[in-house]
C-alpha cells in the first residue's frame, strides 16, 4: 500500500542540501559510510585543516554551523574527513547508511517524543537518494515501448456484474505497459470487494505498478455513493466555515479508496467560481481564490497525509466558463491580470503543498495562447504552470477524446501535441487499438524529430518518481546510492542553502 506522504518540517533546506552533498561524494571517493574503509592520512589532514580554518569563528548557533559546512566543502572537497565535518554539523554523525527512512517504509509519525531536528535531514536525504536510485534503475532498463506505455492512462467503465479482467485489458497492462488506469462506475449492484480483486489482478500482472485512479470529489462526483451513501460536495465543505471539515472528508476518502486499491484521487477541484452559471455547479469550494486555497488545500492534505495521491484540477482554471469541454472547446477571454488575480492565484496557493498531479483541461485562454487549448499549449503548461508557477510534477491531461479536442485533432496528434506542451500522462485509452494509436503517434513523432527521447524520459521520470514517493515501486536494494558528479552536488547543495537563507530558513 502507498506509504504516508508527509512534508518535511523543522529542518532547514540548507542542512538537507549539505547532507545530499555529503552523500553524493560517494561517487567522488568520499567514504562517508560507517562501514567505509580506513580514512587515509592525507584525507584526515585536509579535512582537519578545513575545519580549523573556519572552526575558530564557529559558535554553537545554526548560522555558524552553516558557515562551517559551506566553507569546508569549498576548501577540503578532496578530504575524506569532510564528510565527518559536514555530517557532524547536520547532527548525523558518520553512520549515514544506518539512518532510518528507507523508501517503501512509512516515515516516522508525529509524536510527543522529541526527535533531534538535525536527524531528520539525514533520513530525508537518504530517502531522496534511494528514491533517485530506484527511478534511475527502472528508467535505465526500460525499452522505448515500456516508456511510452507509462505515459498512457487507461479507462475501464464498470456496469452491471462488476469488473472483469478481460484479455484486452491484460494486453494493455502486460503487452503495452500502461502506466495508469481510471475507474468509472455506472452500476453498484455488486460487492465493492470485487473492484479490489480486479485492481489487484491488474497490479499483479503489471511489470511496473499502475496509478489506479478515481474521481472521488463528493457531491455530484461521488463514485462510492452507491455503497456507503453520499459525501459532501466541495460547495458544502466551503460553506461549512471550517477547512478541517475538508481535511476530514478527504482523509475518509483516502482510507476508503486505498482499501479497494485506488491509490490516486482526481481531486480536489481548484477552480474559482467567477460566474453564477459556471459549468461545475457544486464542485467548487468558493468564489474567491483565498477560500478555494483554504479548502482545496485542506482536502489535498487530507488525501496525501493519509497515503492517497491527490490531483489539482482543472488547470488553467475554468471558473469563468459556462460551456462544457466534454461537448465543445470553450474560450476564456479574461485578461492576463484577471487570470493572475483569480485562476492562477488559486493554483499558486496550493502548489506549496506538493500535489501529486495537476490535470490540464481543454479551454483556450486567449490572453496567453489564442491558438491552442491549454492541454496542447506549451505557453500554458511549460510556460505558465512549470516555469512561472514552478510546478515540476506530473501533468495529466483531461480525456483527449472529449469533444473539446476530438472536434479539432485526431487522438494521435493530440497525444503528440500534449507531450510537446509539457504534459506527462495522456488520458485515456479505452482498448488496445486506442492505446496503440497514442504510442504509435509518439513513436512517429520521435522518428520525425518532433519529440526527443530525452523529452519522453523526462515525463517517465516524473511518473516513476511519483510512484516511488508513494511506495508503489519496489525499492532498489543496493546499499550505496549512485554517484553524483561533484560539481553537480556542490552546485545543487549551495543553491539549496542560498535559497534557504533568502527566505529566512537559516
Catalytic residue set? 326, 398
Residues contacting 325, CB < 8 A, separation 6+:
318, 361, 362, 363, 398, 402, 403, 404
Q: Which residues are paired to 365 by β-bridges?
A: 332, 369
DSSP conformation letters of 393-442: SEEEEPPTTSHHHHTTS-HHHHHHHHHHHT--BEEEE-SHHHHHHHHHHH
Cβ contact 385:374 at 8 Å: no
Is residue 181 within 8 Å of residue 210, measured between CB atoms? yes
Contacts of 105 (CB under 8 A, 6+ apart): 3
Evaluate the CA torsion angle 132, 137, 138, 144 in order and state its sign: positive
| φ, ψ (nearest 5 deg) of residue 82 | -55, -40
State the pairing for strand pair 369-373/364-365.
antiparallel
- 92 CB contacts (<8 Å, ≥6 apart)? 19, 99, 118, 119, 121, 122
On whether the CB atoms of residues 476 and 134 are closer than 8 A, the answer is: yes
- The answer to whether the beta carbons of residues 493 and 73 sit under 8 Å apart is yes
Give me the residues paired with residue 212 across strands.
181
Report CA-CA distances (Å) from 138 to 322, 392, 426. Answer: 44, 20, 20
Rounded-to-integer distance, Cα 396 and Cα 352, Å: 19
Amino acid at each position: 500500500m502507498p506509504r504516508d506522504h508527509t512534508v518535511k518540517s523543522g529542518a532547514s533546506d540548507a542542512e538537507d542540501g549539505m547532507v545530499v552533498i555529503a552523500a553524493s561524494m560517494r561517487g567522488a571517493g568520499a567514504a562517508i559510510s560507517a562501514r567505509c574503509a580506513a580514512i587515509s592520512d592525507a584525507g584526515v589532514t585536509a579535512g582537519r585543516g578545513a575545519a580549523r580554518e573556519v572552526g575558530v569563528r564557529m559558535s554553537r548557533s545554526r548560522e555558524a554551523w552553516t558557515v562551517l559546512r559551506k566553507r569546508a566543502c569549498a576548501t577540503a572537497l578532496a578530504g575524506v574527513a569532510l564528510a565527518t565535518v559536514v555530517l557532524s554539523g547536520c547532527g548525523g554523525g558518520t553512520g549515514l547508511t544506518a539512518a532510518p527512512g528507507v523508501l517503501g517504509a512509512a516515515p516516522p509519525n508525529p509524536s510527543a517524543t522529541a526527535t533531534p531536528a538535525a536527524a531528520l535531514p539525514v533520513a530525508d536525504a537518504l530517502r531522496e537518494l534511494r528514491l533517485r536510485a530506484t527511478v534511475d534503475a527502472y528508467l535505465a532498463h526500460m525499452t522505448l515501448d515500456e516508456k511510452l506505455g507509462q505515459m498512457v492512462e487507461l479507462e475501464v467503465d464498470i456496469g452491471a456484474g462488476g469488473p472483469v479482467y478481460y484479455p484486452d485489458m491484460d494486453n494493455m497492462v502486460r503487452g503495452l505497459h500502461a502506466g495508469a488506469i481510471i475507474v468509472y462506475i455506472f452500476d453498484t449492484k455488486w460487492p465493492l470487494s470485487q473492484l479490489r480483486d480486479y485492481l489487484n489482478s491488474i497490479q499483479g500482472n503489471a511489470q511496473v505498478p499502475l496509478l489506479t485512479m478515481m474521481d472521488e470529489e463528493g457531491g455530484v462526483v461521488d463514485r462510492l455513493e452507491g455503497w456507503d451513501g453520499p459525501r459532501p460536495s466541495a460547495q458544502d465543505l466551503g460553506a461549512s466555515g471550517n477547512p478541517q471539515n475538508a481535511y476530514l472528508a478527504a482523509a475518509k476518502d483516502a482510507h476508503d479508496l486505498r482499501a479497494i486499491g485506488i491509490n490516486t484521487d482526481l481531486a480536489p477541484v481548484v477552480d474559482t467560481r467567477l460566474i453564477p452559471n459556471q459549468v461545475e455547479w457544486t464542485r467548487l469550494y468558493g468564489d474567491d481564490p483565498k477560500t478555494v486555497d483554504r479548502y482545496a488545500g485542506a482536502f489535498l492534505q487530507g488525501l496525501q497525509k493519509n497515503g492517497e495521491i491527490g490531483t489539482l484540477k482543472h488547470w488553467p482554471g475554468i471558473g469563468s466558463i459556462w460551456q462544457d469541454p466534454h461537448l465543445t472547446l470553450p474560450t476564456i477571454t479574461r485578461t492576463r491580470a484577471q487570470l493572475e488575480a483569480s485562476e492562477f492565484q488559486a493554483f499558486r496557493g496550493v502548489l506549496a503543498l506538493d500535489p501529486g498531479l495537476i490535470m490540464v483541461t481543454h479551454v483556450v485562454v486567449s490572453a496567453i495562447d489564442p491558438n491552442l487549448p491549454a492541454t496542447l499549449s506549451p505557453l500554458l503548461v511549460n510556460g505558465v504552470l512549470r516555469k512561472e508557477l514552478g510546478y515540476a510534477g506530473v501533468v495529466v491531461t483531461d480525456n483527449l477524446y472529449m469533444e473539446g479536442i476530438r472536434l479539432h485533432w485526431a487522438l494521435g496528434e493530440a497525444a503528440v501535441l500534449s507531450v510537446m506542451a509539457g504534459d506527462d500522462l495522456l488520458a485515456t485509452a479505452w482498448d488496445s487499438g486506442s492505446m496503440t494509436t497514442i504510442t504509435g503517434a509518439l513513436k512517429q513523432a520521435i522518428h520525425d524529430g518532433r519529440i526527443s527521447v530525452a523529452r519522453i524520459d523526462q515525463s517517465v521520470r516524473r511518473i516513476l518518481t511519483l510512484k516511488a514517493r508513494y511506495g508503489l515501486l519496489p525499492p532498489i536494494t543496493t546499499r550505496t546510492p549512485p554517484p553524483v558528479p561533484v560539481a553537480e552536488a556542490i552546485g545543487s547543495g549551495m543553491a539549496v542553502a542560498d535559497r534557504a537563507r533568502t527566505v529566512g530558513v537559516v
